[in-house]
Structure 1
Amino acid sequence: MRNGILRAARLFLCAAAAHAPVSASAAGWDVSKASSNFELVALSDAELTGRSISVIHMGNVELTSGRIVAADPLAQPDRPALAKTVAPGEYPVTLYQASGRIAAAGMRFAEGKPDHWELAVVPGQDPATLKEGEIFGYPVDAGLGCYMDADTLALIGEREAQVQAQKPDADVNYYDDVLASDLDANKGKYGLHRPIAGNKGNVAIFWSGWGDGFYPVFWGLDKDGRPLVLLTDFGVIENADGRREPTGQ
């Protein structure tokens, strides 16, 4: 079911409809109705502060292949990379926080305001197949989301093996044994994790809005279809505005 539309996702979308309304029309599925928060990436830090949204500049994620994985790094670290790729490089990740929650997470590839947006999919997914109330995204079962390069998964496996070798008679928990120290430095909300010291390839890890659920990812593109930004909407706010009392969990 990893590459399909999860039945649980439909239930989540019904519960979260007040945050991220999704619909389809006779002309096809409409990305503009899948999120009302695309303006986040076009506002300055000062403008966002005026809307009760604080900005966290996490630092750069190192994409060694340009194949991006957006997933719960504990529940589904081996999720397929997004179908669209970018040039290998180091790209900054920005978190948008409102009501004490991480409301959205963006990765910036080039400056500028997106001309249009499209739903980010993994191979085999086609937004044209979506029906009303459906959306592609990734499931969260550990309360975390991430951005990383697909190649970094091998480094996570290597780190886990190292920890297991140090504790041969214990069950290794990657969160407790590895990630917790990175996240604890930021009150557990986010961390830039490097699985293997000295190796290129790191992971931007962050709280996923209200926690477990199913969350969409979007590409912000220029007029020629080149990626400017990637945005994960965690359904905490509407209309890029954190001044309203959230209606979520």
Structure 2
Amino acid sequence: MAVPQPDFTRLLTDGGPYPFPHDRFRARIRVLPGVPLSLPSGKVIAIEPFMVGGDDGDELAFTEQVKPGTYPVVLSEIDLIDDGGVVWDTRVAAARLVIRDAPVARWELAHTAEQDRAELDDDEHFGFPVDGGLGCFLDAETYRVVGEEEDFANRVMRTMYPRFGGTADGGVVPAPVTLAVGDEPHAVVYYSTGFGDGVYATWIGFTAAGDVGCFLTDFQTLGDEHEGEGGDDEYGNDAPTAPVTSQEPVPLATALTNNALVLGVALSSAGSPLLGQATLSATTDAVPPARFADGQAPAALPARGQRD
């Protein structure tokens, strides 16, 4: 057994307002237009982009392989709104790789060839660890090619800030970012991961005919799904302190300082950004998605976690 499935109906449909752990806010879901992703082998990987390369992509790919081609990645965003309809924060609630434009008849937890869903306890799930605030979809073949590129993590950092709009207080508005690899212009699609770091499960939606309809990574932003590591409420979320009033880009230093958790940039004890952190994480060997308790953010990638 594994953790309960998220509320896919809410995640995949424009709607709301829905209850939110912070009493002063409600949640509204918006589904964005898709952006293309190339799958040259049809072997899908969901991972933090800073961890791409340096390992065997086939070992990280999900067991369900699809026909090679180009498919849209669709983000569902969550707006936190007050009673007056003012938006105070926007995050990515889910990222979906759409293989077939058909209704999903059932959902299953995605896993790699080395993982066995039958071994999961009720409060456990497979997922990929995030400590840089980002996730992505890519193909196993793309993963191999990226392994030959020395500065891919730096490319992620360089593209992250110009492409993500900024708010008046330095906050980051989520948006999908596409990266080219080699001759393929739509090789990697990355995005911010909900309220920041954690361990995020990917689900596979199957059609009534048993075909793969989509892959969906849930970032645990709705209701009881989210249990963070600290913050203003029992879910670990820090309440926004100002409404979203602008989407103009902000200086890099401001974005780094104000969004260390969301963007995964480590801060020193003095509060200054340690700019090498994201690059350092990319130079380590990537690890297969491990098994963690629901909502647990690993300190050192344990093999099994339990809910407190």
Q: Which amino acid aligns with 1:179?
A: V
Identity %: 30
Distance 1:97 1:159, change over 3 A: same
Q: Which residue matches 1:195?
A: 181
Q: Which residue matches 1:36?
A: 7
Q: Deviations over 1:68-122 (max 9, x none)?
A: 0101121354461111111001100111111411111001111122100000001
TM-aligned CA deviation for residue 143 of structure 1: 1.1
Distance 1:155 1:246, change over 3 A: farther
Q: Which residue matches 2:118?
A: 128
Range with greater deviation from structure 2 (65-74 or 220-229): 220-229
The residue matched to 1:52 in structure 2 has which SS?
strand
Q: Deviations over 1:22-70 (max 9, x none)?
A: xxxxxxx266x232235433x3x4x479962222324110000000010
Distance 1:38 1:155, change over 3 A: farther
Mapped contact 2:105–2:205 kept (Cα < 8 A): yes
The residue matched to 1:114 in structure 2 has which SS?
coil
Give unpaired runs (5+ residues) of structure 1. 1-28, 164-173
Structure 1 stretches of 4+ with a deviation exceeding 6 A read 48-51
Q: Which residue matches 1:69?
A: 45
Output the TM-score relative to the length of structure 1: 0.71
Aligned residues: 199
Q: Which amino acid aligns with 2:68?
A: P
Q: Which residue matches 1:19?
A: none
Q: Which amino acid aligns with 2:177?
A: G
Q: Which residue matches 2:22?
A: none
Output the TM-score relative to the length of structure 2: 0.58
The residue matched to 1:128 in structure 2 has which SS?
helix
The one of 99, 115, 124 aligned to 1:109: 99
Partners of 2:234 and 2:202 in 1: how far apart?
A: 21
Mapped contact 1:37–1:238 kept (Cα < 8 A): no
Alignment of 1:5-154 (within 5 A): 29=1, 33-41=4-12, 43=13, 45=14, 47=15, 52-75=28-51, 77=53, 78=55, 80-98=60-78, 99=80, 100-154=90-144
The residue matched to 2:51 in structure 1 has which SS?
coil
Distance 1:95 1:83, change over 3 A: same
Q: Deviations over 1:201-232 (max 9, x none)?
A: 61010111121110100001012321111110
Q: Which residue matches 1:180?
A: 157
Partners of 2:9 and 2:66 in 1: how far apart?
A: 20
Q: Which residue matches 1:208?
A: 193
Partners of 1:239 and 1:57 in 2: how far apart?
A: 27
**How large is the Cα RMSD of the aligned pairs?**
2.7
Partners of 1:38 and 1:130 in 2: how far apart?
A: 25
Distance 1:215 1:142, change over 3 A: same
The residue matched to 1:111 in structure 2 has which SS?
coil
Larger RCO: 1 or 2 (CA < 8 Å, sep 6+): 1
Q: Deviations over 1:171-191 (max 9, x none)?
A: xxx43x312343221336331
Distance 1:154 1:125, change over 3 A: closer
